[in-house]
Amino acid sequence: MSKVLLFGEPMAMFTAETEGPLEEVVLFRRSLAGAEVNVCTGLSRLGHNVSYVTKLGQDPMGHYIKNFLNREGIGTEFLTFDPIYKTATQLKSKVSEGDPDVAYYRKGSAFSHMSAADIDQIKLAGVDLVHVTGIPPALSLSCREATFRLIDRAKEHGVTITFDPNLRPSLWESEEVMVKVINELAAKADLILPGVSEGLILTGTDDPEKIADFYQNLGVKEVIVKLGSNGAYVRTESESFYQEGFKVEKVIDTVGAGDGFAVGVITGKLEGLPIQDTITRANAIGAIQVTFVSDNEGLPTREELDQFIRSHQ
């Protein structure tokens, strides 16, 4: 079976049980957050062999996260604990409409001290695909170096690289640096998954076809532009097309939808699905995810995914 590697920072997430400003909320429910851990979870639930490269604090939240990964069948052989720095956390408000407020506590976290030297300890033999997002390079200069090292080592080993920009402007020192670094990383990828609003920031246009032009001119083979509820625009070396998304009755929380979409794309590629079937799967997982509060709770098993697609055709 194909082996997938992801690199990122998981966080203990505390979601408000009641609506209102975070400073006034008394009760929170703990779960797990982080774009890359969401993708890991989705891949594992669909039966794929996935391992997570990360660093956690030697603290209760760090052990909670490792236990979660073990329960989900996610490989932890590249997980390390830091005796000094702590595991990152975040607070998330409860809303009945619109996007929730999120407060991050990740500056100086254990993961933010990841370095290129840590990446050099990882054995890439047998790895078929590495999925990277634009979040780790935003967290610290050493994480930025680690991200480039991972992608460069993956390329040296002939490993397929998928890249999701996952822009977090508040984590970067400036938008100018963010755009420069993200596009440098994107140019090294085989496939990139920008959202249409991210494309506007990164390429200066929100026209999906022009976004695809921009990245193919950088040498990226496949560009899949996420269009939210409208589906996606796909550009490969040989074809291009728009594909509609799935409609859901009620959107609970849009956080994690893009990660679900990435799960669909990655598993479709690994299983050799036709590109149209891959995008159908990606759109379906994204649609399922927006009907759940947790960032990864709704990520489906294969049976749940097949049932959703059948019931919406």
Taking a C-beta distance cutoff of 8 angstroms, is the pair 111, 54 a contact?
yes
Q: How far is CA 132 from CA 117, 159, 174, 247, 267, in A?
A: 18, 12, 21, 28, 15
Instruction: Work out how many domains the chain is built from and give that number.
Output: 1
Integer Cα distance of 159 and 277 in angstroms: 23
Show the tokens assigned to 269.
Answer: 């590629």
Taking a C-beta distance cutoff of 8 angstroms, is the pair 104, 88 a contact?
yes
* Burial track 137-156 (b if 16+ CB lie within 10 A, e otherwise): bbbbeebbbbbbbbbebbee
Q: Is 51 helix (H, G, I), strand (E, B) or coil?
A: strand
Q: State the pLDDT at residue 252.
A: 54
Integer Cα distance of 165 and 147 in angstroms: 12
Q: State the pLDDT at residue 191.
A: 98
Q: How far is CA 156 from CA 6, 137, 153, in A?
A: 17, 20, 5
Q: Within a 10 A sphere around the Cβ of 94, how many other Cβ atoms?
A: 18
Integer Cα distance of 192 and 116 in angstroms: 23
Residue in this structure with the two tokens 């796909």, named with its chain if needed: 234
Angle of helix 196-203 versus helix 208-217 axis, rounded to 10 = 50
CATH code of the domain covering residue 231 = 3.40.1190.20
pTM (predicted TM-score): 0.93
For residue 10, which phi and psi values (nearest 5 degrees)?
Answer: -85, 150
* 82-133 tens-digit pLDDT: 999 999 999 999 888 777 888 999 999 999 999 999 999 999 999 999 999 9
* 14-40 tens-digit pLDDT: 999 999 999 999 999 999 999 999 999
Catalytic residue, from 259, 277, 295, 306: name it. 259
Q: Is 259 a catalytic residue?
A: yes
Q: State the pLDDT at residue 257.
A: 78
Taking only the tens of pLDDT, the chain with its 313 residues reads: 679 999 999 999 999 999 999 999 999 999 999 999 999 999 999 999 999 999 999 999 999 999 999 999 999 999 999 999 999 999 999 888 777 888 999 999 999 999 999 999 999 999 999 999 999 999 999 999 999 999 999 999 999 999 999 999 989 999 999 999 999 999 999 999 999 999 999 999 999 999 999 999 999 999 999 998 889 999 999 999 999 987 766 665 556 678 999 999 999 999 999 999 999 999 998 888 766 655 667 788 888 888 888 888 7
CA dihedral 51, 8, 136, 292 (to 10 degrees): 130
Q: State the pLDDT at residue 255.
A: 61
Show the domain range for 112. Answer: 3-311
Integer Cα distance of 192 and 195 in angstroms: 10
